[in-house]
Amino acid sequence: MARTDNYLIQAQQAKSCFLTYDAEALAKKLNAKLDADFLYTTFFGQSYRVSRKTGDIQRLENGAWQDGNSYEEVMTLLDLICDSREDRHVSGRWKAMQDFGLQFHQKLLEDDHDPWAERFQNDFPAFRRACLALGGKPLPVGDAAYAFEIFDGLGVAVQLWLGDDEFPPNLRFLWDENADQYIRYETMYFAKALLLNRIAGQMEEP
């Protein structure tokens, strides 16, 4: 319960922080639509809007606005909206996720036992179909790799290396080399979790 409460507190703090920003300045920075009630943007290929009164988030699904206030959505999208640089631009070159952070974080990204990698290997065809269905663009690395546009041209890629008798399956994440102009290193973990959950959810679709 305490952990859940902490998540709620952090998400609310992020929303409160958003409300301190000048919405018109944010819209200009992002070239985003703005009306009296919402700021509109695109996130992982879907239309989103953020309430100017509460910071609550909605995403457009099947023509209707749905709740978009999962912890990962709130923490990632509001960081991108509020903290991305005015002069941000993509490089078109990939950089390993761990190279954006401190060395001691590397173990978090390269675990010998990765349940996500095992899950995706166990249903490899469904993994590939799910990535394509979510708008992933195939990359010629690993046994399967896909690039996704997360926000305003910023790309993130997931690579799956299948395991064998000697080595376990492995997932690697790459970001555009200029990702730190858009998003903080710590926030990359929220975006990573969101992408993994969306892939897994899409794999369950018939």
pLDDT at residue 112 is higher than 90: no
Measured CA to CA, the distance from residue 86 to residue 171 in angstroms comes to: 32
* 137 SS3 class: strand
pLDDT in tens, 173-187: 999 999 999 999 999
**Long-range residue pairs from 140-149, CB within 8 A, at least 24 positions apart, any chain:** 142/172, 148/44, 148/45, 148/195, 149/44, 149/45
pLDDT in tens, 50-103: 999 999 999 999 999 999 999 999 999 999 999 999 999 999 999 999 899 865
Which of 3-12, 77-86, 135-144 has the weakest average pLDDT?
Answer: 3-12
* 133 SS3 class: helix
Indicate the helix (H) or strand (E) that contains 45.
none
pTM of the model: 0.90
Which residue ranges form the domains of the chain, and what is each CATH number?
2-83 (no CATH), 94-203 (3.30.310)
Measured CA to CA, the distance from residue 78 to residue 84 in angstroms comes to: 10
Q: Per-residue confidence at 5, pLDDT binned at 50, 70, 90? A: confident
